[in-house]
Amino acid sequence: MDVFFENIGAVGTGFWMTLRLLIFGGLGAMLIGLVVVTMRISPVASLRGFATVYTEIIRNTPLVMLFIFMVFVLPLIAPDKPPYPILAMITLAIYTSPFVAEALRSGINGVHVGQAEAARSIGLNFGQTLTLIVLPQALRMVVPPLINVFIALTKNSSVAGGFFVVELFAVARSLTNENGQAVIPILVGIALCYLVITVPLGLIAGQIEKKVRVLR
């Protein structure tokens, strides 16, 4: 593990970039996912159709293909592209958003339809019913699945390392290329860095799941 600790500065830089990809990619995915799930359950048929098509296309497109489009094709369309880390955050947000939307939709479907009907009977419109009645109940049920989505996002962020973003995977690749005799210690160290991020998320999901079970 000497090589790993000798390059702890580079590892720290990669770790911080992975955290940024998780945080900002996750926030972007939540925002897009909320919009998509609202459209999925909207009474307007065209919005439901658009959201369904978006979900199916993005969810079934390999993440690498999205990165190739954002990094190599998008600059041909819009020359003033943002830096590669920003492109990676946007790509991860877009890719993760259908999974967030589906997790939210499963929670919304778990809310008894009578709740929405009662809200409409007292004069609440669709937006008010969704934000005041349905979503607060649904979010309580979908937090553990959402955390699992963010754990997957953390692991998916390693793909950004192949597209000019210096995160943990890119650091691991660089260190193993320079220190072929210490591949296993380097990979073990990098794996532990990922666990530092994902294990607490898993523990949080478990605690929230226990509280939700008690509330039910």
Containing 176, the helix (H) or strand (E) segment is helix 168-178
| Residue extents of the structural domains in the chain | 2-215
Q: What is the pLDDT of residue 214?
A: 47
pLDDT tens readout for residues 118-167: 877 888 888 788 888 887 778 777 888 888 899 999 999 999 998 989 99
Total-model pTM: 0.88
Does the pLDDT at position 94 exceed 60? yes
Cα 210 to Cα 87, 135, 183, 199: the distances in Å are 37, 20, 40, 17
Residue among 40, 129, 25 at smallest CA distance from 85: 25
Burial of 162 (C-beta count, 10 Å sphere; 0-12/13-18/19+): middle
pLDDT at residue number 109: 82
CA distance 76 to 94: 20
Q: Which range, 89-98, 142-151, 204-213, is most confident?
A: 89-98
Say which CATH topology domain 2-215 has: MetI-like fold (1.10.3720)
Query: What confidence score (pLDDT) does residue 144 get?
Result: 81
Residue 77 in this model has a pLDDT that exceeds 60: yes
CA distance 143 to 72: 35
Tokens of 2: 């000497």
